[in-house]
Chain A
Amino acid sequence: MANEVCFRTLSHEKPWAYEAYVSVGGYSVWRKIVNEKTDPHEIIEAIKQSGLRGRGGAGFPTGLKWSFIPRNAPGDKYVVCNADEGEPGTCKDRDIMRFNPHQLVEGLLIACYVMGAENAYNYIRGEFWEPFQRMETAIKEARDAGLMGVNILGSGINAHVHNHLGAGAYICGEETALLNSLEGKKGYPRFKPPFPANHGLYGKPTNINNVETFASVPVILQHGAKWFADLGVPNNGGTKVFSVSGDVNKPGNFEIGLGTPFTKLLELAGGVRNGHKIKAVIPGGSSSKILTGDEMLAVNMDFDSLAKAGTMLGSGAVIVIDETRDMVEILARIAEFYAEESCGQCTPCREGTGWMARMLHKVIHGGAQVSDLDKIVDVANKIEGRTICGLGDAAAWPVQSYIKKFRKEFEDHIINRAKTHSH
């Protein structure tokens, strides 16, 4: 079975329409919560039981995260949705917002209620104009239906969802950089602690999750925690949208149960193009450690299986690489990306990412020696764990893993270059 959670309206003629969403039971959970004033702890408990883990990349248990918010503390609290989708290879949140925007709205309203917040901000990356418009329409429709605003359905509950737009910066997908950006500043990540749960947007307690995470919540509460958990495997509840791109015949977003074998996902994506052999796979966005084709063909697509294989599920962005590809060129392109997107706040990342990119270009175009490969890995090791946010790690992991698993290709480049030059 597929498309049961975030893509559940996809078979409708206009999957984004209010009517389509209501026809699958949409907003029934929100109406029930508003009418019955459900105990928020009950909702958190259900989410814990469902096994839902953060869909943005870290895989942190969502119910636990929700329980960190001091909901009864005086003063404002906020809910923030991370729709700044930018991890290379990832394009699922775009489709959730384009095709099922109401489910995200309902998820955010429920989160507001649980957190004791009156306002939720959906931070959409600036380039996503079409998803932004779909979300704006959905918000208007929800308000017109009396499901959002002041004194919702006469309950005394107030909740508003607002769309915000970014302006192009990968770093703003990091939650504290996103909060600074939402406050109208440069997207510089903040030191943690304090964590957003206590000191987030405008210095107030803030719950921040990914689009897919929030959009999963209404379905969990509608069909029950067990139903959702059973879609996946133990400790990895539910479905996940995988964006499969690269060397496959039918690239696409596929919503399938966590724990599904990779071979099945590859089949859904039409297999490797032109009948080529699979050489490698980026399993969870460009920052995840690379696996060889053989390693990948043996894994299941869930957080724990990929961690056991030495990498991560990340954002669910699967980039398939076939036997005709040059791993050095792919790594050089990725290294360039992290150098471009480093915000410049921490020295190891600001200086190290640019240096690694330049060195990898030397590996391709000449000027590097085989011994430099160890030096490049050494620099990656010295960036990892020494920066305020995860971008440093994200830049280090591909470098470490590509050179480890495909070292011969790097050496061949250097040796062949040297030969060409000596003639």
Chain B
Amino acid sequence: MTEEVQAAVLPEHIKREIDHWIAKYPADFKQSAVIPALHIVQEQMGGYLTPELMAAVADYLEMPRVAVLEVASFYSMYDLKPVGRHKICVCTNVSCALKNSGKVIEHLEKRLNIKLGETTADGKFTIKSVECLGACVGAPMFQIGKEYYEHLTPEKIDTILDNLK
């Protein structure tokens, strides 16, 4: 037996933001807005995608709920479980690895006292290893939220983290 998930209520301003995306595509293809819509709800409604949020997006875009789950579970930027307020995505692909991305992770683990993939007890930081983020000439690098930070050094990492609320 599966229970029907009760869709979350999308606030008006979120709907308007999604509408801005829907307007880009032909009227019959609202589903094209699903990727941006999931970004919007993840970012502004709790930091990760709950079944209730995915159901709300599905209903709003008039698409099957399972199709939204398929998308949400396929793409790496979506989180289906809680993560820290600041998700530190460290690139560990070849160009960054050659520039010591391993040391970047070591430094983060030591400073935050957690392991790769974990979240600090206060829910502030998560460290994650990711594939190439397309900033290879700035290696080593990581992304926090929407920002890229390149040419990282231990000192630079400390300053970046100190400045995050």
Residues of A within 8 A of B (CB): 76, 85-91, 93-94, 121, 125-130, 162, 164-170, 181-187, 202, 243-247, 251-253, 282, 286, 317, 319, 321, 325, 330, 333-334, 337, 340-341, 343
Contacts and interface: CB of A to CB of B under 8 A. Distances in A.
Contact of B93 (A162, A184, A251, A337): A337
B38 interface: yes
Contacts of B26: 76, 202
Interface in B1-48: 24, 26, 29-36, 38-39
B71 interface: yes
Given A128-B134, A167-B38, 5 more contacts: A86-B132, A121-B24, A167-B39, A182-B32, A184-B31
Nearest to A127: B133
Contacts of A126: 35, 39, 75, 77
Nearest to A170: B131
A198 B88 CA distance: 42
B122 interface: no
Interface residues of B, number: 44
20 contacts: A90-B132, A91-B138, A93-B134, A127-B89, A129-B147, A130-B148, A165-B35, A183-B29, A184-B33, A184-B67, A187-B75, A243-B136, A245-B136, A246-B95, A286-B132, A319-B95, A333-B92, A337-B132, A341-B131, A343-B74
Contacts of B138: 91, 251
Contacts of B93: 88, 286, 333, 337
B90 to A, nearest CB: 13
B127 interface: no
A167 B135 CA distance: 17
Would you list the 3 A-B pairs with minimal beta carbon distance, nearest first?
Answer: A184-B31, A168-B76, A167-B75
Given A165-B35, A169-B75, A88 B135 contact: no
Nearest to A126: B77
Contacts of B121: none
B147 to A, nearest CB: 7
Most buried by B among A88, A89, A181, A184: A184
B54 interface: no
Contact of A88 (B63, B78, B95): B95
B77 A330 contact: no
A286 B71 CA distance: 26
B98 interface: yes
A187 B77 contact: no
A87 B93 CA distance: 10
Interface string B89-106: 100111101110000000
B53 interface: no
A251 B139 contact: yes
A88 B133 CA distance: 8
A245 B95 contact: yes
Contacts of B143: 127
Nearest to A133: B146
A78 B96 CA distance: 36
B97 A184 contact: no
Interface in B83-127: 89, 92-95, 97-99
A88 B132 contact: yes
Contacts of A88: 93-95, 131-132, 136
B137 interface: yes
Most buried by A among B74, B76, B94, B135: B94
A89 B35 contact: no
Contacts of A168: 75-78, 130
A88 B141 CA distance: 13
Contacts of A89: 94-95, 132, 136
B70 interface: yes
A127 B130 CA distance: 11
Given A127-B143, A185-B67, A319-B95, A337 B131 contact: yes
Given A184-B63, A333-B94, A169 B74 contact: yes
A276 to B, nearest CB: 12
A184 B94 contact: no
A186 B92 CA distance: 24
B83 to A, nearest CB: 14
A32 to B, nearest CB: 28
Nearest to B139: A245
A121 B21 CA distance: 12
A256 to B, nearest CB: 15
Nearest to B98: A246
Given A127-B133, A167-B39, A334 B94 contact: yes
B126 to A, nearest CB: 15
Contacts of A130: 146, 148
A319 B131 contact: no
A243 B135 CA distance: 9
Most buried by A among B29, B31, B32, B134: B134
A91 B76 contact: no
Contacts of B131: 86, 88, 170, 337, 340-341
B136 A90 contact: yes
A126 B112 CA distance: 27
A243 B133 CA distance: 13
Contact of A184 (B34, B132, B139): B34
